[in-house]
Structure 1
Protein backbone atom coordinates (compact mmCIF):
# COMPACT_ATOMS: atom_id res chain seq x y z
CA UNK A 1 0.00 0.00 0.00
CA UNK A 2 1.13 3.55 -0.82
CA UNK A 3 1.35 5.87 2.16
CA UNK A 4 -0.39 9.25 2.27
CA UNK A 5 2.94 11.16 2.22
CA UNK A 6 4.10 9.36 -0.93
CA UNK A 7 0.79 10.16 -2.63
CA UNK A 8 1.16 13.86 -1.78
CA UNK A 9 4.73 13.89 -3.14
CA UNK A 10 3.56 12.37 -6.44
CA UNK A 11 0.78 14.94 -6.75
CA UNK A 12 3.26 17.78 -6.11
CA UNK A 13 5.67 16.34 -8.67
CA UNK A 14 2.91 16.09 -11.29
CA UNK A 15 1.83 19.66 -10.59
CA UNK A 16 5.43 20.87 -10.84
CA UNK A 17 5.97 19.08 -14.15
CA UNK A 18 2.70 20.36 -15.57
CA UNK A 19 3.52 23.92 -14.59
CA UNK A 20 6.99 23.56 -16.12
CA UNK A 21 5.45 22.28 -19.35
CA UNK A 22 2.98 25.15 -19.37
CA UNK A 23 5.80 27.65 -19.05
CA UNK A 24 7.70 25.94 -21.85
CA UNK A 25 4.67 25.94 -24.14
CA UNK A 26 3.90 29.59 -23.40
CA UNK A 27 7.53 30.47 -24.16
CA UNK A 28 7.37 28.76 -27.54
CA UNK A 29 4.08 30.50 -28.29
CA UNK A 30 5.65 33.90 -27.59
CA UNK A 31 8.50 33.32 -30.03
CA UNK A 32 6.43 31.41 -32.58
CA UNK A 33 5.26 34.50 -34.59
CA UNK A 34 8.86 35.42 -35.44
CA UNK A 35 9.75 31.93 -36.64
CA UNK A 36 6.51 31.60 -38.60
CA UNK A 37 7.07 34.91 -40.40
CA UNK A 38 10.75 34.08 -40.93
CA UNK A 39 9.81 30.69 -42.38
CA UNK A 40 7.29 32.24 -44.78
CA UNK A 41 9.23 35.28 -46.02
CA UNK A 42 12.81 34.11 -45.39
CA UNK A 43 13.47 30.40 -45.18
CA UNK A 44 10.94 29.16 -47.75
CA UNK A 45 12.02 31.59 -50.53
CA UNK A 46 15.68 30.66 -49.91
CA UNK A 47 14.98 26.92 -50.16
CA UNK A 48 12.71 27.41 -53.17
CA UNK A 49 15.39 29.53 -54.88
CA UNK A 50 17.94 26.74 -54.42
CA UNK A 51 15.49 24.29 -55.94
CA UNK A 52 14.67 26.70 -58.77
CA UNK A 53 18.35 27.10 -59.67
CA UNK A 54 18.26 23.62 -61.22
CA UNK A 55 15.03 24.20 -63.13
CA UNK A 56 14.05 26.00 -66.31
CA UNK A 57 10.96 28.07 -65.54
CA UNK A 58 9.45 31.31 -66.78
CA UNK A 59 6.97 31.67 -63.92
CA UNK A 60 3.98 30.20 -65.78
CA UNK A 61 4.86 26.98 -67.56
CA UNK A 62 5.83 23.66 -66.02
CA UNK A 63 9.30 23.48 -64.49
CA UNK A 64 11.89 21.44 -66.38
CA UNK A 65 14.93 20.02 -64.59
CA UNK A 66 18.12 21.16 -66.36
CA UNK A 67 20.77 20.33 -63.76
CA UNK A 68 23.73 22.71 -63.83
CA UNK A 69 22.80 24.33 -67.15
CA UNK A 70 21.62 27.53 -65.44
CA UNK A 71 24.98 27.92 -63.70
CA UNK A 72 26.81 27.33 -67.00
CA UNK A 73 24.72 30.01 -68.71
CA UNK A 74 25.48 32.52 -65.96
CA UNK A 75 29.25 31.92 -65.68
CA UNK A 76 29.62 31.97 -69.48
CA UNK A 77 27.82 35.31 -69.78
CA UNK A 78 30.28 38.24 -70.09
CA UNK A 79 27.63 40.60 -68.70
CA UNK A 80 27.57 38.63 -65.45
CA UNK A 81 31.30 39.10 -64.92
CA UNK A 82 30.91 42.74 -65.88
CA UNK A 83 28.28 43.04 -63.15
CA UNK A 84 30.62 41.37 -60.65
CA UNK A 85 33.36 43.83 -61.61
CA UNK A 86 31.01 46.81 -61.29
CA UNK A 87 29.73 45.60 -57.91
CA UNK A 88 33.22 45.19 -56.47
CA UNK A 89 34.50 48.52 -57.83
CA UNK A 90 31.48 50.54 -56.68
CA UNK A 91 31.50 48.71 -53.37
CA UNK A 92 35.15 49.55 -52.71
CA UNK A 93 34.76 53.18 -53.80
CA UNK A 94 31.61 53.73 -51.77
CA UNK A 95 32.24 51.57 -48.71
CA UNK A 96 35.94 51.72 -47.79
CA UNK A 97 36.10 55.55 -47.43
CA UNK A 98 32.96 55.70 -45.31
CA UNK A 99 34.40 53.28 -42.75
CA UNK A 100 37.60 55.29 -42.35
CA UNK A 101 35.87 58.69 -42.32
CA UNK A 102 33.15 57.31 -40.04
CA UNK A 103 35.73 56.54 -37.35
CA UNK A 104 37.25 60.02 -37.68
CA UNK A 105 33.85 61.72 -37.52
CA UNK A 106 32.80 59.65 -34.51
CA UNK A 107 36.04 60.56 -32.73
CA UNK A 108 35.44 64.26 -33.42
CA UNK A 109 31.78 64.10 -32.37
CA UNK A 110 32.87 62.67 -29.04
CA UNK A 111 35.21 65.55 -28.20
CA UNK A 112 34.13 67.78 -25.34
CA UNK A 113 35.31 70.99 -27.03
CA UNK A 114 32.83 70.54 -29.91
CA UNK A 115 29.75 72.72 -29.52
CA UNK A 116 26.26 71.59 -30.66
CA UNK A 117 27.37 67.95 -30.65
CA UNK A 118 23.81 66.61 -30.49
CA UNK A 119 22.84 68.71 -33.51
CA UNK A 120 25.72 67.34 -35.56
CA UNK A 121 24.97 63.78 -34.46
CA UNK A 122 21.37 64.04 -35.63
CA UNK A 123 22.35 65.81 -38.84
CA UNK A 124 24.94 63.23 -39.85
CA UNK A 125 22.38 60.45 -39.37
CA UNK A 126 19.72 62.15 -41.52
CA UNK A 127 20.84 60.72 -44.91
CA UNK A 128 20.24 57.18 -43.64
CA UNK A 129 16.57 57.83 -42.88
CA UNK A 130 15.99 59.86 -46.05
CA UNK A 131 13.97 58.19 -48.80
CA UNK A 132 16.22 56.42 -51.31
CA UNK A 133 14.11 57.72 -54.18
CA UNK A 134 14.55 61.32 -53.02
CA UNK A 135 18.30 60.80 -52.59
CA UNK A 136 18.69 59.32 -56.07
CA UNK A 137 16.64 62.10 -57.67
CA UNK A 138 18.73 64.79 -55.97
CA UNK A 139 21.98 63.13 -57.01
CA UNK A 140 20.73 62.69 -60.56
CA UNK A 141 20.36 66.48 -60.69
CA UNK A 142 23.72 67.15 -59.01
CA UNK A 143 25.48 64.76 -61.39
CA UNK A 144 23.52 65.52 -64.55
CA UNK A 145 25.34 65.62 -67.88
CA UNK A 146 24.70 69.34 -68.29
CA UNK A 147 27.73 71.60 -68.03
CA UNK A 148 26.02 73.77 -65.41
CA UNK A 149 25.34 70.89 -63.00
CA UNK A 150 26.91 71.28 -59.57
CA UNK A 151 29.42 68.46 -60.08
CA UNK A 152 30.60 69.80 -63.45
CA UNK A 153 30.69 73.34 -62.08
CA UNK A 154 33.03 72.23 -59.28
CA UNK A 155 35.23 70.46 -61.83
CA UNK A 156 35.36 73.59 -63.98
CA UNK A 157 36.68 75.58 -61.00
CA UNK A 158 39.73 73.31 -60.93
CA UNK A 159 40.12 73.44 -64.71
CA UNK A 160 38.67 70.01 -65.57
CA UNK A 161 36.37 69.30 -68.49
CA UNK A 162 32.69 68.45 -67.77
CA UNK A 163 31.83 64.78 -67.35
CA UNK A 164 28.86 62.86 -68.70
CA UNK A 165 28.07 61.34 -65.33
CA UNK A 166 25.06 59.25 -66.40
CA UNK A 167 26.62 57.76 -69.55
CA UNK A 168 30.38 57.44 -69.05
CA UNK A 169 31.93 54.33 -67.53
CA UNK A 170 33.73 55.87 -64.57
CA UNK A 171 31.46 58.88 -64.26
CA UNK A 172 28.53 56.62 -63.43
CA UNK A 173 30.55 54.56 -60.96
CA UNK A 174 31.88 57.65 -59.17
CA UNK A 175 28.43 59.27 -58.90
CA UNK A 176 26.84 56.11 -57.49
CA UNK A 177 29.77 55.57 -55.10
CA UNK A 178 29.41 59.11 -53.75
CA UNK A 179 25.70 58.49 -53.30
CA UNK A 180 26.37 55.30 -51.34
CA UNK A 181 29.03 57.04 -49.26
CA UNK A 182 26.77 59.99 -48.44
CA UNK A 183 23.88 57.76 -47.42
CA UNK A 184 25.74 55.29 -45.19
CA UNK A 185 28.61 57.23 -43.61
CA UNK A 186 26.32 58.61 -40.90
CA UNK A 187 25.00 55.15 -40.03
CA UNK A 188 28.53 53.81 -39.46
CA UNK A 189 29.52 56.99 -37.62
CA UNK A 190 26.74 56.50 -35.05
CA UNK A 191 27.82 52.88 -34.49
CA UNK A 192 31.43 53.97 -33.98
CA UNK A 193 30.30 56.80 -31.70
CA UNK A 194 28.46 54.31 -29.50
CA UNK A 195 31.63 52.22 -29.37
CA UNK A 196 33.82 55.19 -28.48
CA UNK A 197 31.46 56.23 -25.68
CA UNK A 198 31.86 52.76 -24.18
CA UNK A 199 35.63 53.40 -23.80
CA UNK A 200 36.64 54.72 -20.38
CA UNK A 201 37.74 58.36 -20.33
CA UNK A 202 40.50 57.40 -17.89
CA UNK A 203 42.45 55.93 -20.80
CA UNK A 204 42.34 59.19 -22.73
CA UNK A 205 43.22 61.22 -19.64
CA UNK A 206 46.21 58.98 -18.92
CA UNK A 207 47.32 59.25 -22.54
CA UNK A 208 47.03 63.04 -22.41
CA UNK A 209 49.16 63.14 -19.25
CA UNK A 210 51.76 60.98 -21.02
CA UNK A 211 51.88 63.51 -23.87
CA UNK A 212 49.86 61.67 -26.53
CA UNK A 213 48.11 63.93 -29.02
CA UNK A 214 44.62 63.35 -30.44
CA UNK A 215 45.89 61.42 -33.46
CA UNK A 216 47.96 59.11 -31.27
CA UNK A 217 44.98 58.54 -29.00
CA UNK A 218 42.84 57.69 -32.01
CA UNK A 219 45.46 55.29 -33.38
CA UNK A 220 46.53 53.51 -30.18
CA UNK A 221 43.43 53.68 -27.96
CA UNK A 222 40.30 54.21 -30.03
CA UNK A 223 41.10 51.91 -32.96
CA UNK A 224 42.07 48.79 -30.95
CA UNK A 225 39.12 49.11 -28.57
CA UNK A 226 36.72 49.69 -31.48
CA UNK A 227 37.70 46.38 -33.03
CA UNK A 228 34.34 44.59 -32.41
CA UNK A 229 32.43 47.54 -33.86
CA UNK A 230 34.77 47.75 -36.87
CA UNK A 231 34.32 44.04 -37.60
CA UNK A 232 30.54 44.47 -37.38
CA UNK A 233 30.41 47.46 -39.74
CA UNK A 234 32.85 45.89 -42.20
CA UNK A 235 30.73 42.73 -42.33
CA UNK A 236 27.44 44.57 -42.89
CA UNK A 237 29.04 47.02 -45.34
CA UNK A 238 30.49 44.15 -47.37
CA UNK A 239 27.13 42.39 -47.57
CA UNK A 240 25.35 45.65 -48.41
CA UNK A 241 27.89 46.61 -51.09
CA UNK A 242 27.59 43.25 -52.84
CA UNK A 243 23.78 43.56 -52.78
CA UNK A 244 23.74 47.07 -54.28
CA UNK A 245 20.55 47.64 -56.27
CA UNK A 246 18.46 50.71 -55.41
CA UNK A 247 21.09 53.40 -55.99
CA UNK A 248 22.18 52.49 -59.54
CA UNK A 249 18.65 51.51 -60.57
CA UNK A 250 17.11 54.86 -59.63
CA UNK A 251 20.14 56.92 -60.73
CA UNK A 252 20.22 55.41 -64.23
CA UNK A 253 16.44 55.44 -64.63
CA UNK A 254 14.61 53.52 -67.35
CA UNK A 255 17.80 52.38 -69.07
CA UNK A 256 19.36 50.85 -65.96
CA UNK A 257 18.88 47.25 -67.14
CA UNK A 258 19.93 47.82 -70.74
CA UNK A 259 23.35 49.34 -69.98
CA UNK A 260 26.39 47.80 -68.39
CA UNK A 261 28.23 50.85 -66.96
CA UNK A 262 26.84 50.22 -63.48
CA UNK A 263 25.06 46.86 -63.81
CA UNK A 264 25.45 45.14 -60.43
CA UNK A 265 24.95 41.45 -59.66
CA UNK A 266 21.55 42.04 -58.06
CA UNK A 267 20.49 44.13 -61.08
CA UNK A 268 21.62 41.27 -63.32
CA UNK A 269 19.59 38.86 -61.19
CA UNK A 270 16.54 41.13 -61.31
CA UNK A 271 16.84 41.51 -65.08
CA UNK A 272 16.88 37.74 -65.61
CA UNK A 273 13.90 37.15 -63.34
CA UNK A 274 11.52 40.01 -64.11
CA UNK A 275 12.65 41.30 -67.50
CA UNK A 276 13.60 38.04 -69.27
CA UNK A 277 11.34 35.73 -67.19
CA UNK A 278 14.25 33.35 -66.63
CA UNK A 279 13.82 32.45 -62.99
CA UNK A 280 16.21 29.51 -63.19
CA UNK A 281 19.25 31.58 -64.17
CA UNK A 282 18.21 34.28 -61.70
CA UNK A 283 18.19 31.74 -58.87
CA UNK A 284 21.55 30.38 -60.02
CA UNK A 285 22.91 33.94 -59.92
CA UNK A 286 21.58 34.34 -56.37
CA UNK A 287 23.43 31.21 -55.23
CA UNK A 288 26.66 32.37 -56.89
CA UNK A 289 26.22 35.76 -55.23
CA UNK A 290 25.81 34.02 -51.87
CA UNK A 291 29.22 32.35 -52.25
CA UNK A 292 30.79 35.64 -53.37
CA UNK A 293 29.40 37.35 -50.26
CA UNK A 294 30.71 34.57 -48.02
CA UNK A 295 34.20 34.81 -49.57
CA UNK A 296 34.48 38.61 -49.36
CA UNK A 297 32.90 38.80 -45.90
CA UNK A 298 35.33 36.15 -44.61
CA UNK A 299 38.33 37.96 -46.12
CA UNK A 300 37.29 41.34 -44.73
CA UNK A 301 36.51 39.90 -41.31
CA UNK A 302 39.91 38.19 -41.22
CA UNK A 303 41.72 41.39 -42.20
CA UNK A 304 39.87 43.57 -39.68
CA UNK A 305 40.33 41.01 -36.90
CA UNK A 306 44.04 41.91 -36.88
CA UNK A 307 43.35 45.50 -35.79
CA UNK A 308 45.05 46.27 -32.50
CA UNK A 309 46.94 42.99 -32.45
CA UNK A 310 50.52 43.46 -31.34
CA UNK A 311 53.37 41.38 -32.64
CA UNK A 312 55.13 39.69 -29.80
CA UNK A 313 58.81 39.03 -30.10
CA UNK A 314 60.43 35.97 -28.63
CA UNK A 315 62.99 36.78 -25.99
CA UNK A 316 66.00 34.59 -25.73
Structure 2
Protein backbone atom coordinates (compact mmCIF):
# COMPACT_ATOMS: atom_id res chain seq x y z
CA UNK A 1 0.00 0.00 0.00
CA UNK A 2 2.86 2.33 0.77
CA UNK A 3 4.31 1.68 -2.65
CA UNK A 4 0.97 2.47 -4.25
CA UNK A 5 0.59 5.64 -2.22
CA UNK A 6 4.16 6.55 -3.05
CA UNK A 7 3.52 5.88 -6.73
CA UNK A 8 0.41 8.05 -6.72
CA UNK A 9 2.33 10.78 -4.96
CA UNK A 10 5.09 10.70 -7.56
CA UNK A 11 2.51 10.79 -10.36
CA UNK A 12 0.75 13.71 -8.73
CA UNK A 13 4.02 15.57 -8.35
CA UNK A 14 4.88 14.87 -11.98
CA UNK A 15 1.53 16.24 -13.11
CA UNK A 16 1.94 19.29 -10.91
CA UNK A 17 5.39 19.99 -12.36
CA UNK A 18 4.05 19.59 -15.90
CA UNK A 19 1.15 21.95 -15.28
CA UNK A 20 3.48 24.47 -13.67
CA UNK A 21 5.46 24.64 -16.91
CA UNK A 22 2.45 25.28 -19.13
CA UNK A 23 0.23 27.20 -16.68
CA UNK A 24 1.83 30.57 -17.44
CA UNK A 25 1.41 30.05 -21.19
CA UNK A 26 -2.21 28.89 -20.72
CA UNK A 27 -3.02 31.94 -18.58
CA UNK A 28 -1.38 34.31 -21.07
CA UNK A 29 -3.27 32.77 -23.99
CA UNK A 30 -6.57 33.03 -22.13
CA UNK A 31 -5.95 36.63 -21.06
CA UNK A 32 -4.53 37.99 -24.32
CA UNK A 33 -6.25 35.75 -26.89
CA UNK A 34 -9.53 34.18 -25.79
CA UNK A 35 -10.72 36.98 -23.50
CA UNK A 36 -10.35 39.68 -26.23
CA UNK A 37 -12.17 37.39 -28.68
CA UNK A 38 -15.13 37.03 -26.32
CA UNK A 39 -15.13 40.75 -25.56
CA UNK A 40 -15.04 41.56 -29.29
CA UNK A 41 -18.01 39.25 -29.85
CA UNK A 42 -19.96 40.99 -27.09
CA UNK A 43 -18.93 44.37 -28.52
CA UNK A 44 -20.19 43.35 -31.96
CA UNK A 45 -23.69 43.08 -30.45
CA UNK A 46 -23.59 46.71 -29.36
CA UNK A 47 -23.74 50.01 -31.20
CA UNK A 48 -23.29 53.69 -30.50
CA UNK A 49 -20.88 56.59 -30.78
CA UNK A 50 -17.57 56.21 -29.02
CA UNK A 51 -18.01 54.32 -25.77
CA UNK A 52 -21.71 55.19 -25.44
CA UNK A 53 -22.84 51.74 -26.53
CA UNK A 54 -26.18 50.03 -26.34
CA UNK A 55 -27.10 46.41 -26.91
CA UNK A 56 -28.64 45.99 -30.38
CA UNK A 57 -28.48 42.22 -30.84
CA UNK A 58 -27.84 41.15 -34.42
CA UNK A 59 -28.63 44.55 -35.96
CA UNK A 60 -24.94 45.15 -36.77
CA UNK A 61 -24.73 41.86 -38.65
CA UNK A 62 -27.87 42.69 -40.62
CA UNK A 63 -26.37 46.09 -41.40
CA UNK A 64 -23.41 44.42 -43.13
CA UNK A 65 -25.58 43.29 -46.04
CA UNK A 66 -26.78 46.83 -46.75
CA UNK A 67 -23.51 48.65 -46.08
CA UNK A 68 -22.23 49.72 -49.50
CA UNK A 69 -18.80 50.59 -48.11
CA UNK A 70 -18.41 47.16 -46.53
CA UNK A 71 -19.53 45.46 -49.75
CA UNK A 72 -17.01 47.53 -51.74
CA UNK A 73 -14.23 46.62 -49.27
CA UNK A 74 -15.14 42.93 -49.57
CA UNK A 75 -15.05 43.13 -53.38
CA UNK A 76 -11.65 44.83 -53.33
CA UNK A 77 -10.26 42.26 -50.91
CA UNK A 78 -11.62 39.40 -53.03
CA UNK A 79 -9.89 40.84 -56.08
CA UNK A 80 -6.58 40.86 -54.21
CA UNK A 81 -7.28 37.32 -53.01
CA UNK A 82 -8.29 35.82 -56.34
CA UNK A 83 -5.46 37.44 -58.32
CA UNK A 84 -2.56 37.71 -55.91
CA UNK A 85 -2.68 34.44 -53.93
CA UNK A 86 -2.45 32.08 -56.97
CA UNK A 87 0.35 34.21 -58.44
CA UNK A 88 2.25 34.15 -55.18
CA UNK A 89 1.81 30.39 -54.70
CA UNK A 90 2.84 29.52 -58.27
CA UNK A 91 5.75 31.97 -58.31
CA UNK A 92 7.03 30.78 -54.91
CA UNK A 93 6.83 27.15 -56.05
CA UNK A 94 8.61 27.89 -59.34
CA UNK A 95 11.42 29.82 -57.64
CA UNK A 96 11.89 27.13 -54.98
CA UNK A 97 12.31 24.44 -57.64
CA UNK A 98 14.93 26.56 -59.42
CA UNK A 99 16.83 27.26 -56.20
CA UNK A 100 16.76 23.58 -55.24
CA UNK A 101 18.83 22.66 -58.29
CA UNK A 102 22.20 21.34 -57.10
CA UNK A 103 23.88 22.76 -60.21
CA UNK A 104 22.92 26.34 -59.40
CA UNK A 105 25.72 28.50 -58.03
CA UNK A 106 25.30 31.18 -55.33
CA UNK A 107 22.09 29.54 -54.11
CA UNK A 108 22.53 31.03 -50.65
CA UNK A 109 22.67 34.53 -52.08
CA UNK A 110 19.54 34.10 -54.20
CA UNK A 111 17.59 32.50 -51.35
CA UNK A 112 18.49 35.34 -49.01
CA UNK A 113 17.72 38.01 -51.60
CA UNK A 114 14.27 36.61 -52.35
CA UNK A 115 13.40 36.04 -48.68
CA UNK A 116 14.73 39.43 -47.53
CA UNK A 117 11.53 41.40 -48.38
CA UNK A 118 9.65 39.31 -45.80
CA UNK A 119 11.68 40.78 -42.93
CA UNK A 120 11.51 44.40 -44.07
CA UNK A 121 9.23 46.85 -42.28
CA UNK A 122 5.69 46.84 -43.66
CA UNK A 123 5.39 50.61 -43.41
CA UNK A 124 8.87 51.28 -44.83
CA UNK A 125 8.46 49.12 -47.91
CA UNK A 126 4.94 50.44 -48.51
CA UNK A 127 6.18 54.03 -48.49
CA UNK A 128 9.01 53.09 -50.86
CA UNK A 129 6.52 51.46 -53.24
CA UNK A 130 4.39 54.58 -53.11
CA UNK A 131 7.31 56.69 -54.33
CA UNK A 132 8.46 54.09 -56.88
CA UNK A 133 5.00 53.95 -58.47
CA UNK A 134 4.25 57.67 -58.32
CA UNK A 135 3.45 59.42 -61.59
CA UNK A 136 7.01 60.77 -61.71
CA UNK A 137 8.49 57.74 -59.94
CA UNK A 138 11.24 55.37 -60.98
CA UNK A 139 8.90 52.77 -62.49
CA UNK A 140 7.30 55.19 -64.95
CA UNK A 141 10.69 56.73 -65.73
CA UNK A 142 12.21 53.35 -66.60
CA UNK A 143 9.20 52.23 -68.65
CA UNK A 144 9.27 55.46 -70.66
CA UNK A 145 13.02 55.23 -71.24
CA UNK A 146 12.69 51.77 -72.81
CA UNK A 147 9.66 53.01 -74.83
CA UNK A 148 7.19 50.56 -73.26
CA UNK A 149 4.84 53.47 -72.45
CA UNK A 150 4.58 56.94 -73.94
CA UNK A 151 2.91 58.64 -70.96
CA UNK A 152 3.15 58.02 -67.21
CA UNK A 153 0.79 55.39 -65.80
CA UNK A 154 -1.26 56.68 -62.89
CA UNK A 155 -0.37 53.79 -60.61
CA UNK A 156 -1.72 55.43 -57.46
CA UNK A 157 -4.61 57.57 -58.68
CA UNK A 158 -6.26 55.26 -61.23
CA UNK A 159 -8.63 52.66 -59.70
CA UNK A 160 -7.42 49.79 -61.90
CA UNK A 161 -3.70 50.51 -61.68
CA UNK A 162 -3.95 51.23 -57.94
CA UNK A 163 -5.16 47.64 -57.41
CA UNK A 164 -2.33 46.37 -59.61
CA UNK A 165 0.17 48.32 -57.51
CA UNK A 166 -1.16 46.75 -54.30
CA UNK A 167 -0.99 43.27 -55.84
CA UNK A 168 2.60 43.84 -57.03
CA UNK A 169 3.60 45.07 -53.57
CA UNK A 170 2.07 42.09 -51.74
CA UNK A 171 3.58 39.63 -54.22
CA UNK A 172 7.04 41.20 -53.87
CA UNK A 173 6.93 40.95 -50.09
CA UNK A 174 5.39 37.54 -49.46
CA UNK A 175 6.54 35.30 -52.34
CA UNK A 176 9.82 34.60 -50.55
CA UNK A 177 7.92 33.57 -47.42
CA UNK A 178 6.14 30.77 -49.28
CA UNK A 179 9.32 29.90 -51.15
CA UNK A 180 11.07 28.96 -47.90
CA UNK A 181 8.37 26.41 -47.04
CA UNK A 182 8.51 24.84 -50.50
CA UNK A 183 12.30 24.80 -50.47
CA UNK A 184 12.49 23.04 -47.12
CA UNK A 185 9.94 20.47 -48.29
CA UNK A 186 11.80 19.88 -51.56
CA UNK A 187 15.01 19.16 -49.67
CA UNK A 188 13.22 16.40 -47.76
CA UNK A 189 12.21 14.56 -50.95
CA UNK A 190 14.50 11.59 -51.61
CA UNK A 191 16.51 12.11 -54.80
CA UNK A 192 16.16 8.41 -55.60
CA UNK A 193 12.52 9.09 -56.54
CA UNK A 194 13.62 11.50 -59.27
CA UNK A 195 16.42 9.17 -60.37
CA UNK A 196 13.94 6.34 -60.80
CA UNK A 197 11.65 8.64 -62.78
CA UNK A 198 14.51 9.71 -65.07
CA UNK A 199 15.45 6.06 -65.67
CA UNK A 200 11.84 5.40 -66.66
CA UNK A 201 12.11 8.24 -69.18
CA UNK A 202 10.05 10.87 -67.35
CA UNK A 203 10.77 14.40 -68.50
CA UNK A 204 11.40 17.28 -66.10
CA UNK A 205 7.86 18.48 -66.83
CA UNK A 206 6.34 15.13 -65.83
CA UNK A 207 8.56 14.92 -62.75
CA UNK A 208 7.33 18.30 -61.60
CA UNK A 209 3.62 17.58 -62.01
CA UNK A 210 3.61 13.89 -61.10
CA UNK A 211 6.20 13.82 -58.29
CA UNK A 212 6.94 17.30 -56.95
CA UNK A 213 3.40 18.67 -56.83
CA UNK A 214 1.80 15.59 -55.18
CA UNK A 215 4.56 15.39 -52.56
CA UNK A 216 4.26 19.11 -51.81
CA UNK A 217 0.47 18.99 -51.53
CA UNK A 218 0.36 19.48 -47.70
CA UNK A 219 2.75 22.46 -47.94
CA UNK A 220 0.82 23.97 -50.84
CA UNK A 221 -2.37 23.67 -48.79
CA UNK A 222 -0.69 25.28 -45.78
CA UNK A 223 0.72 28.22 -47.76
CA UNK A 224 -2.59 28.69 -49.56
CA UNK A 225 -4.45 29.00 -46.27
CA UNK A 226 -1.88 31.31 -44.65
CA UNK A 227 -1.75 33.48 -47.79
CA UNK A 228 -5.55 33.67 -47.85
CA UNK A 229 -5.67 34.68 -44.18
CA UNK A 230 -2.99 37.31 -44.73
CA UNK A 231 -4.77 38.77 -47.74
CA UNK A 232 -8.13 38.94 -45.96
CA UNK A 233 -6.35 40.90 -43.20
CA UNK A 234 -4.57 43.20 -45.65
CA UNK A 235 -4.03 46.65 -44.17
CA UNK A 236 -0.52 48.17 -44.25
CA UNK A 237 -0.03 48.24 -48.01
CA UNK A 238 -3.43 49.76 -48.74
CA UNK A 239 -3.14 52.26 -45.91
CA UNK A 240 0.35 53.49 -46.82
CA UNK A 241 0.40 53.21 -50.63
CA UNK A 242 -3.05 54.34 -51.77
CA UNK A 243 -4.81 55.28 -48.55
CA UNK A 244 -7.77 53.25 -49.80
CA UNK A 245 -8.22 55.50 -52.82
CA UNK A 246 -8.91 56.65 -55.32
CA UNK A 247 -12.51 56.88 -54.20
CA UNK A 248 -12.28 53.77 -51.97
CA UNK A 249 -11.25 51.72 -55.01
CA UNK A 250 -8.56 49.90 -53.03
CA UNK A 251 -10.04 49.94 -49.51
CA UNK A 252 -9.65 46.56 -47.79
CA UNK A 253 -11.82 45.13 -45.03
CA UNK A 254 -9.16 45.76 -42.39
CA UNK A 255 -8.78 49.36 -43.47
CA UNK A 256 -12.53 49.80 -43.24
CA UNK A 257 -12.35 48.52 -39.65
CA UNK A 258 -9.66 51.14 -38.96
CA UNK A 259 -11.79 53.86 -40.54
CA UNK A 260 -14.83 52.85 -38.46
CA UNK A 261 -12.77 52.97 -35.29
CA UNK A 262 -10.53 55.98 -35.76
CA UNK A 263 -11.30 57.94 -38.94
CA UNK A 264 -15.08 58.20 -39.04
CA UNK A 265 -17.26 58.86 -36.00
CA UNK A 266 -16.06 56.00 -33.77
CA UNK A 267 -18.41 53.01 -33.92
CA UNK A 268 -16.49 50.29 -32.12
CA UNK A 269 -19.46 47.94 -32.03
CA UNK A 270 -19.89 47.88 -35.80
CA UNK A 271 -16.09 47.72 -36.27
CA UNK A 272 -16.07 44.56 -34.13
CA UNK A 273 -18.85 43.17 -36.31
CA UNK A 274 -16.81 43.74 -39.45
CA UNK A 275 -13.86 42.07 -37.70
CA UNK A 276 -15.95 38.98 -37.09
CA UNK A 277 -16.97 39.06 -40.74
CA UNK A 278 -13.29 38.51 -41.54
CA UNK A 279 -13.24 35.57 -39.13
CA UNK A 280 -16.21 34.01 -40.90
CA UNK A 281 -14.62 34.55 -44.32
CA UNK A 282 -11.35 32.97 -43.13
CA UNK A 283 -13.20 29.91 -41.84
CA UNK A 284 -15.19 29.55 -45.07
CA UNK A 285 -12.14 29.84 -47.34
CA UNK A 286 -10.08 27.51 -45.15
CA UNK A 287 -12.78 24.84 -45.27
CA UNK A 288 -13.13 25.24 -49.04
CA UNK A 289 -9.38 24.88 -49.50
CA UNK A 290 -9.31 21.75 -47.35
CA UNK A 291 -12.17 20.29 -49.38
CA UNK A 292 -10.53 21.25 -52.68
CA UNK A 293 -7.31 19.58 -51.55
CA UNK A 294 -9.22 16.44 -50.62
CA UNK A 295 -8.21 16.60 -46.96
CA UNK A 296 -10.49 14.28 -44.98
CA UNK A 297 -9.90 16.27 -41.80
CA UNK A 298 -11.11 19.52 -43.44
Question: Which of 245, 250, 269 matches 1:262?
Answer: 250
How far does the alpha carbon of each residue in 1:49-81 deviate from its partner, in whole angstroms, 9 at most, with x for none? 1111111244433x3111122123232111101
**Could you tell me how far 1:258 is from its partner in structure 2?**
8.7
Contact between 1:55 and 1:67, CA under 8 Å: does it hold in 2? yes
Residue correspondence of structure 1 range 38-187 to structure 2 within 5 A: 38-61=29-52, 63-146=53-136, 149-151=138-140, 153-154=142-143, 157-159=147-149, 161-187=151-177
Question: Which of 8, 13, 16 matches 1:17?
Answer: 8
Deviates more, 1:203-212 or 1:188-197: 203-212
Structure 1 gaps of 5+ residues are 1-9, 307-316
Question: Which of 211, 221, 240 matches 2:211?
Answer: 221
**Could you tell me how far 1:152 is from its partner in structure 2?**
5.6
CA 1:84–1:47: 2 relative to 1, 3 Å: same
Which residue of structure 1 lines up, in the alignment, with residue 269 of structure 2? 280
Contact between 1:136 and 1:179, CA under 8 Å: does it hold in 2? yes
> Which has the higher Rg, Structure 1 or Structure 2?
1
Deviates more, 1:28-37 or 1:50-59: 50-59
How many residues in Structure 1 have an aligned counterpart in Structure 2? Answer: 293
State the SS of the aligned residue for 2:249.
coil
Deviates more, 1:92-101 or 1:227-236: 92-101
How far does the alpha carbon of each residue in 1:77-135 deviate from its partner, in whole angstroms, 9 at most, with x for none? 11101000000101222221010011111111111110111221122110101111221
**Could you tell me how far 1:47 is from its partner in structure 2?**
0.6
| TM-score, normalising length: structure 1 | 0.87
How far does the alpha carbon of each residue in 1:216-241 deviate from its partner, in whole angstroms, 9 at most, with x for none? 21111100100110111011111111
**Could you tell me how far 1:162 is from its partner in structure 2?**
2.2
Contact between 1:55 and 1:66, CA under 8 Å: does it hold in 2? yes
Contact between 1:110 and 1:197, CA under 8 Å: does it hold in 2? yes
How far does the alpha carbon of each residue in 1:17-58 deviate from its partner, in whole angstroms, 9 at most, with x for none? 111111111111111122211112211111111111111244
Contact between 1:230 and 1:304, CA under 8 Å: does it hold in 2? no
In 2, Cα distance between the equivalents of 1:172 and 1:152?
17
CA 1:232–1:94: 2 relative to 1, 3 Å: same
Question: Which of 262, 278, 302 matches 2:291?
Answer: 302
State the SS of the aligned residue for 1:24.
helix
CA 1:258–1:181: 2 relative to 1, 3 Å: closer
Q: RMSD between aligned alpha carbons?
A: 1.8
Deviates more, 1:31-40 or 1:41-50: 31-40
State the SS of the aligned residue for 2:152.
coil
Runs of 4+ in 1 over 4 A off after TM superposition: none
How far does the alpha carbon of each residue in 1:246-284 deviate from its partner, in whole angstroms, 9 at most, with x for none? 1111112xx448941111111111211222210111111
